[in-house]
Chains A and B, each alone.
Chain A
Amino acid sequence: MARIAACWGMLVLLLAAELAATWAGLGIAVCVVAVLMVLVIVLGFMQILRGPPLAIIFALGGLFWLTILLALGSLDSFTRTTVPVPGGALDGPALPDRAAVPKESR
């Protein structure tokens, strides 16, 4: 009971901190607080450390593949500002309509 109340209190405080960080314009702090809230839930409510070893392996495996997904998927857009693509950025003008381009100029 005390553990659950402590976790709930921590989450409420972190929510307040998250809103305060938004108000203060601290985007990075918002992200850090969100990760802390996730940790409180995983350790406090889901009690992963009390689970069987296989559950911990599955949780870490999910985290690993999620990291791969996010890292490789966002690699291009996060590096394009430092390594510009010849011919324009992602926010550049739209490509011409393929049907409107004369066949011989394709």
Chain B
Amino acid sequence: MSDGSVLDHHSPYETPLHRDESAIAGMWLFLASEALLFGGLFLVCLVYSQTRAGGWAEGVRHTNLTIGAVNTLILITSSAVYTLAVEAGRRGDNRGVVRAGLGAAGLGLAFLVLKGVEWGQEFSENLFPGPHFALHGPASGAAALFYSFYFLATFLHGMHMVVGIGLILWICRKARQGAFSPAWSTPVDVVGLYWSFVDLIWMLLFPLLYLIGRA
């Protein structure tokens, strides 16, 4: 069936460019669906921060701003470092991909460790909604609502971080095998899009969870 032509090599795509652009566009389509997943959470925040403003802001004031700000800086840096891996991939510099990839993954891991420390503090202070919830008073219900949103949103974001770190390590493994060249480094680009998107989501969650109620 195959005559060994160049076209067959890229099947089902017509050209390498068509293949690479399809992969990039496919990732953007996936990210659009992810935006709607997180959009539901942002809608919850938008509505309850308006209708239960007092208790919501009280919840925000109890979050750890220092850890939140440091984690934001870590994610910004991690995203920038991984973009260096994307540039290295386009040059066919596999060692550069490994170096930058491991740096980005390490920063992602540092984010998760700090988030774990923060969660530990919050659990020990009884800020997880339930019968022993620490905040009392007329607005405690709304504060508990905030913390439900907080734990759900940070858990969901954390899961995306775990997946992202796994993908970056996979890229590093392929780069160590010398898989990428100036002619083909699309997986490095696609994972970069995902990793920057996880960063982007945090840029929106950070003000919602740590800043708006304090301002």
Instruction: Give the interface of A toward B (CB within 8 A).
Output: 1, 4-5, 7-8, 11-12, 15, 18-19, 21-22, 24-27, 29-31, 33-34, 37-38, 41-42, 45-46, 48, 51-52, 54-55, 58-59, 61-63, 65-66, 69-70, 73-74, 77-78, 80, 90-91
Residues on the B chain within 8 Å of A78, using CB: 50
Contact of B43 among A7, A42, A48, A70 (CB under 8 A): A70
**Which residues of chain B from 195 to 209 have a CB within 8 Å of any chain A CB?**
196-197, 199-200, 203-204, 206-207
Q: B207 — which chain A residues lie within 8 A by C-beta?
A: 18, 30-31, 33-34
Seen from chain B, the residues whose Cβ lies within 8 Å of a Cβ on chain A are: 21, 24-25, 27-29, 31-33, 35-36, 39-40, 42-43, 46-47, 50-52, 69, 72-73, 76-77, 79-80, 83-84, 87, 192-193, 196-197, 199-200, 203-204, 206-207, 211-212, 214-215
A-B contact list, 9 entries, CB within 8 Å: A4-B84, A8-B77, A26-B215, A34-B203, A45-B80, A54-B21, A55-B25, A66-B36, A70-B39
Which residue in chain B gives the minimum CB-CB distance to A63?
B35
Q: How far is the CA of A56 from the CA of B79 in the complex (A)?
A: 21
Known: A77-B51, A91-B52. 5 other contacts (CB 8 A): A18-B207, A26-B215, A31-B207, A62-B33, A80-B51
| Cβ A73 vs Cβ B46 within 8 A | yes
**Residues of chain B with a CB closer than 8 A to A51's CB:** 24-25, 28
Asked if A21 and B215 sit within 8 Å, CB to CB, the answer is: yes
